Amino acid sequence: MTVRHFPFPHKAVRGRRLHVVPEPKPRPEPMHAAERRMRDAGGPDDRACYSCDCGFIFVAPVSTSVDCPHCGSAQAW
Ligand SMILES: [Zn+2]
Protein backbone atom coordinates (compact mmCIF):
# COMPACT_ATOMS: atom_id res chain seq x y z
CA MET A 1 0.00 0.00 0.00
CA THR A 2 1.37 3.32 -0.98
CA VAL A 3 0.58 6.33 1.12
CA ARG A 4 1.13 9.62 -0.51
CA HIS A 5 1.68 12.70 1.48
CA PHE A 6 0.63 15.85 -0.13
CA PRO A 7 3.14 18.62 0.35
CA PHE A 8 0.36 21.03 1.22
CA PRO A 9 -2.83 20.50 3.00
CA HIS A 10 -5.74 20.32 0.72
CA LYS A 11 -6.70 23.71 -0.37
CA ALA A 12 -10.17 24.86 0.16
CA VAL A 13 -12.01 25.40 -3.01
CA ARG A 14 -11.26 28.95 -3.90
CA GLY A 15 -13.31 31.23 -5.98
CA ARG A 16 -16.47 29.64 -4.72
CA ARG A 17 -16.82 31.42 -1.45
CA LEU A 18 -20.24 31.51 -0.06
CA HIS A 19 -21.46 34.98 -0.56
CA VAL A 20 -23.85 36.03 2.10
CA VAL A 21 -26.36 38.32 0.56
CA PRO A 22 -28.11 40.50 3.12
CA GLU A 23 -31.82 40.28 3.04
CA PRO A 24 -33.45 43.17 1.29
CA LYS A 25 -34.91 45.72 3.61
CA PRO A 26 -38.65 45.48 3.93
CA ARG A 27 -40.45 48.08 2.00
CA PRO A 28 -42.00 50.82 4.04
CA GLU A 29 -45.67 50.47 4.57
CA PRO A 30 -47.58 52.42 1.99
CA MET A 31 -48.93 55.47 3.67
CA HIS A 32 -52.42 56.54 2.98
CA ALA A 33 -52.88 60.03 1.68
CA ALA A 34 -54.96 61.04 4.69
CA GLU A 35 -52.33 59.69 7.07
CA ARG A 36 -49.59 61.53 5.21
CA ARG A 37 -51.53 64.77 5.44
CA MET A 38 -52.06 64.20 9.15
CA ARG A 39 -48.35 63.53 9.71
CA ASP A 40 -47.33 66.51 7.63
CA ALA A 41 -49.63 68.67 9.72
CA GLY A 42 -47.89 67.56 12.89
CA GLY A 43 -50.03 64.65 13.93
CA PRO A 44 -53.53 64.35 15.21
CA ASP A 45 -54.88 67.19 17.24
CA ASP A 46 -55.26 65.78 20.72
CA ARG A 47 -56.80 68.88 22.19
CA ALA A 48 -60.42 69.35 22.96
CA CYS A 49 -62.72 72.21 23.76
CA TYR A 50 -64.16 71.94 27.24
CA SER A 51 -67.09 73.91 28.54
CA CYS A 52 -67.18 74.07 32.29
CA ASP A 53 -70.33 74.36 34.36
CA CYS A 54 -69.10 77.75 35.46
CA GLY A 55 -69.49 78.91 31.89
CA PHE A 56 -65.82 79.02 31.09
CA ILE A 57 -64.91 77.49 27.75
CA PHE A 58 -61.34 76.51 27.17
CA VAL A 59 -59.19 74.31 24.98
CA ALA A 60 -56.94 71.80 26.70
CA PRO A 61 -55.09 68.63 25.78
CA VAL A 62 -57.27 65.55 25.87
CA SER A 63 -56.68 63.93 29.22
CA THR A 64 -58.51 62.04 31.91
CA SER A 65 -57.83 64.84 34.36
CA VAL A 66 -58.59 68.27 33.02
CA ASP A 67 -59.35 71.01 35.45
CA CYS A 68 -61.07 74.21 34.55
CA PRO A 69 -58.49 76.98 34.58
CA HIS A 70 -61.20 79.35 35.83
CA CYS A 71 -62.78 77.53 38.75
CA GLY A 72 -60.58 74.46 39.03
CA SER A 73 -63.34 71.87 38.85
CA ALA A 74 -62.53 68.60 37.15
CA GLN A 75 -64.03 68.16 33.72
CA ALA A 76 -65.81 65.06 32.56
CA TRP A 77 -64.22 63.34 29.63
ZN1 LIG B 1 -64.99 76.24 35.53
How do the domains of the chain map onto residue ranges?
Answer: 46-77
- Work out the pLDDT band at 18, boundaries 50, 70, 90: confident
Q: Please determine, for residue 12, whether its predicted confidence score (pLDDT) is greater than 60.
A: no
In the beta sheet, which residues pair with residue 6? none
**Does residue 36 contact residue 42 with C-beta atoms inside 8 Å?**
no
CA distances to 8, 11, 12, 18, 19 from 15, rounded to whole Å, are: 19, 11, 9, 9, 10
- Strands (E) across the chain are located at 47-51, 57-61, 66-67, 74-75
- Work out the pLDDT band at 20, boundaries 50, 70, 90: confident
Query: What is the Å distance from ligand 1's center to 45 Cα?
Result: 23
Q: Which residues contact 13 (CB under 8 A, 6 or more apart)?
A: none
In the structure, ligand 1 is a single-atom ion and the residues with CB under 5 Å from it are 52, 54, 56, 68, 70-71
